[in-house]
Amino acid sequence: MSFKPLFSKSLGAAPNRLHLAAHSHHLWPDASFAGQVECWEDAARLADRKWDKVMGDVWPEAQAHIAAELGRGQADAIVFASNTHDFLIRLVAAAPRAAAGPLRILTSDGEFHSARRQFARWVESGEIALDQVAAEPFDTFSDRFLAAATAGDHDLILVSQVLFGSGRRFDPVEQLAGLARPSGPWVVVDGYHAFMAIEAPLTPTAAATAFYLGGGYKYAMAGEGCAFLHCPPGFGPRPPVTGWYAEFDDLTLPPGMVGYAGDAMRFMGATFDPSALYRFNSVRRMLADNNLTTARISAHVAALQKQLVDALAGTALGAAELLNPLDGAPHARFLAFRSAHAQRWCAELMARDCITDVRGDVIRLGLGLYHDESDIAAFAALAGQLA
């Protein structure tokens, strides 16, 4: 079955393009356009009063969608920002230190650039002390990371649920979350490549003690500006990096008082662009109207991934090392092939208007709801021309 009609605007805007980067910049469905228009029309119609609509209707609807998707069900544990880097800064500033000196952080060497770069700079400036667990060998990564978190003496522990470079999963999220305490350590799970790719990625048990990061840029199909943070209750009641929206529920405080909301809004920043929330809500409504759950979308993608791997047999790309093999278990929404030729292959495909992406020596092929069997055949034909 093809769901291309739900993406008619994006596909029609570049009809000759073959876009296999749904894991990177997911094409926007038509519903996101409707959400963008709704945001603009509300601003025009309501002017100053648009914030009553945003915070009274749009924001709570988006919270509810995310809470349901995570499997947690507690909407007031969700707060939004423009990107996850904003939350990283707020979390590191708020995390309690068990000892004098720099904040002690445990992470992996396979984290996305927003964490990798910021952590490296904080190490340079002496703000943090960083321990990293090697992502490779991948088959033992989860066990090694959990062992380091258990044995170490860290203030903050951050790991990706799905590693962005390889598509490999960190499975013992619940066990890791069990280490967290309000007084430290804090556990932060970067779920950007899991949210709306893996069904119910945060169990209620894990949600009780773990922070969880995600956003709308990838599988949520809502574009940029829709990052979210799940905040466990009791962790960081007064974050030191704070915007005025963090006391939005209590603007009657006396002058000079720094108040905080009691729920996830305590990690809120300041004035923001709400259009991403409108897009996200509109997309979620579209998915519900078409009975497109994460499980159903994942099944659609999994079938295409198997077809793609089979179709690449006998090609140069098919001979590359597949870092995240298909094993029937819940899988990343992309396939990661390692080869010394990855950069060249990506460039040659780009020259043929076929969009993939490359991270070092790994070329990633991301499939989504807007792909069908015809795209697999078209890509296999292009891959057959690679040497």
Coil vs helix vs strand at 188: strand
Which residue ranges in the chain fall short of pLDDT 70?
248-253
pLDDT of 249 reads 59
Task: Please spell the DSSP secondary structure of 146-173, one letter per residue.
Answer: HHHHHHS--SEEEEESB-TTT--B---H
pLDDT of 247 reads 80
pLDDT of 64 reads 97
pLDDT of 329 reads 86
Last residue of a domain, one of 236, 259, 286: 286
End-to-end CA distance of the chain: 32
Determine the structural domain holding residue 320 and report its residue range.
Answer: 4-30+292-383
Indicate if 241 and 302 belong to the same structural domain.
Answer: no
| CA atoms of 351 and 330, how far apart (whole Å) | 33
Indicate if 55 and 177 belong to the same structural domain.
Answer: yes
CATH of the domain at 260: 3.40.640.10
Indicate if 22 and 48 belong to the same structural domain.
Answer: no
pLDDT of 250 reads 56
pLDDT of 252 reads 59
Indicate if 97 and 157 belong to the same structural domain.
Answer: yes
pLDDT of 1 reads 84
What is this structure's pTM? 0.96
pLDDT of 251 reads 56
| CA atoms of 196 and 218, how far apart (whole Å) | 9
